[in-house]
Amino acid sequence: MKNRFDFIKESKDIVRNYAYKHLDVTDNIEKQDFDVYVVWYAYELGNQKAMISTSLLDGMYYEVTYNINKNEIYLDAYKKFENKVINLKKEGEWLWKQ
């Protein structure tokens, strides 16, 4: 992997191909009918990581990691089930006791 632009392009291609292969045939979506975009990117000690999503309404979220030592890319695919707020304080006190 030469630079972050190569990594991001490769990551988006990986996610696009993965998402397309896992579409339900009844969705009638062509490969170019959805966008793939980077939500977050980081570079640390030669390794790179990107959080990626698509415009599909499937609730999927992807994490792509480049391991410089092994010259490997890892893809993690997640399904978002819920976005829930958990209030940690109530009237100035923690909800749980230590």
- Asked if the model's pLDDT at residue 41 lies above 90, the reply is yes
Instruction: Please tell me the pTM assigned to this model.
Output: 0.79
Average pLDDT of the chain to the nearest whole number = 86
Question: CB–CB of 59/81 below 8 Å?
Answer: yes
pLDDT digits (tens, 9 = 90+) for 49-79: 999 999 998 889 999 999 999 999 999 999 9
The Cα–Cα gap between 43 and 50 comes to 9
